[in-house]
């Protein structure tokens, strides 16, 4: 019990530290804003941060719901839960039904320049972008939530920060190369590694507990029969 509680404490500590690093990394990175736009940026910063926080809460709840109600193995208990493909299909259907009238109204009556410039080629690009950037990426992310955990998959989204940082370097955007940006990108990467280590420790502990429970149940089902010599002696005493 002491070993299990100590291992659980280590897993929680490692996962918490990794999550804090993932939060501290983007927070420490500077905002590269034009000085002439600084006043406008400052006036909307609080409102933007509040919306970002609300979005993060909703996204976290969405990830946890997927992990709880979508199956992640082939057991009978898991087959009783909701199919992930069905869940994503219903999300797309609800969005299409509720937002299509709004999009059609904007195209026809509000912004005529968009409807005039919308060719079949552009429409095809939009469909391809939606399939790759929305459908495929959301499906892969949801599968990552089911196969790992909500924490690992959500923290993994933060890897877009160091990847974007490397992309800016390759494209020659030298204005982002400073100490705080490098530390922020490194913190996100280190946090992702720590969270994965913590989840691996947790999974190993769960497997060890399952094996221990199985062995205990197996031992309790074993019946101890008396030796053969004792049975023969008892039969002779009874005159059998």
Quick: pLDDT tens for 93-146. Answer: 998 899 989 888 877 777 666 666 778 888 899 889 988 888 888 888 888 888
Opening angle at CA 224, ends 219 and 226, nearest 5: 170
C-alpha 52/C-alpha 109 separation (Å) is 31
Which pLDDT score is estimated for 128? 92
Residue 135 pLDDT: 86
Range name among 28-37, 64-73, 136-145 with the lowest pLDDT average: 28-37
Q: Enumerate residues 6+ apart whose C-beta is below 8 A from 156.
A: 144, 192
Q: What is the mean pLDDT of residues 164-179?
A: 75
pLDDT by residue (tens digit) across 192-222? Answer: 888 888 888 877 777 777 666 666 656 555 5
Query: Do 151 and 196 contact (CB within 8 A), yes or no?
Result: no
Specify the pLDDT at position 98: 93
Question: How many Å apart are CA 113 and CA 95, to the nearest integer?
Answer: 25
DSSP string, the chain: -HHHHHHHHHHHHHHHHHHHHHHHHHHHS-----GGGHHHHHHHHHHHHHHHHHHHHHHHHHHHHHHHHS--SS-HHHHTS--HHHHHHHHHHHHHHHHHHHHHHIIIII-HHHHHH--HHHHHHHHHHIIIIIIIHHHHHHHHHHHS-HHHHHHHHTTHHHHHHHHHHHTT-GGG-SHHHHHHHHHHHHHHHHHHHHHHHHHHHHHHHHHHHHHHHHHHH---PPPHHHHHHHHHHTT-
CA distance 6 to 29: 35
Of 224 and 167, the structure prediction assigns the larger pLDDT to 167
Please tell me the pTM assigned to this model: 0.66
């Amino acid at each position: 019990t002491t070993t299990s509680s100590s291992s659980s404490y280590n897993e929680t500590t490692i996962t918490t530290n990794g999550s804090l690093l993932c939060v501290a990394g983007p927070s420490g990175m500077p905002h590269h804003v034009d000085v002439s736009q600084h006043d406008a940026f400052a006036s909307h910063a609080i409102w933007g941060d509040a919306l970002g926080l609300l979005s993060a809460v909703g996204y976290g709840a969405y990830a946890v719901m997927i992990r709880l109600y979508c199956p992640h193995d082939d057991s009978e208990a898991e087959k009783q839960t909701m199919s992930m493909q069905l869940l994503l299909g219903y999300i797309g259907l609800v969005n299409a039904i509720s937002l299509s009238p709004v999009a059609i109204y904007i195209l026809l009556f509000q912004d005529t320049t968009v409807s005039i410039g919308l060719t079949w080629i552009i429409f095809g690009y939009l469909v391809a972008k939606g399939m790759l950037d929305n459908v495929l990426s959301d499906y892969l992310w949801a599968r990552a939530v089911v196969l790992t955990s909500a924490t690992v998959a959500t923290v993994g989204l933060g890897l877009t920060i160091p990847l974007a940082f490397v992309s800016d370097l390759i494209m020659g955007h030298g204005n982002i190369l400073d100490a705080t940006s490098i530390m922020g990108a490194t913190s996100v990467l280190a946090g992702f590694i720590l969270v994965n280590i913590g989840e691996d420790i947790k999974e190993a502990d769960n497997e060890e507990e399952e094996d221990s429970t199985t062995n205990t149940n197996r031992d309790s089902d074993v019946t101890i029969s008396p030796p053969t010599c004792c049975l023969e002696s008892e039969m002779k005493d009874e005159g059998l």
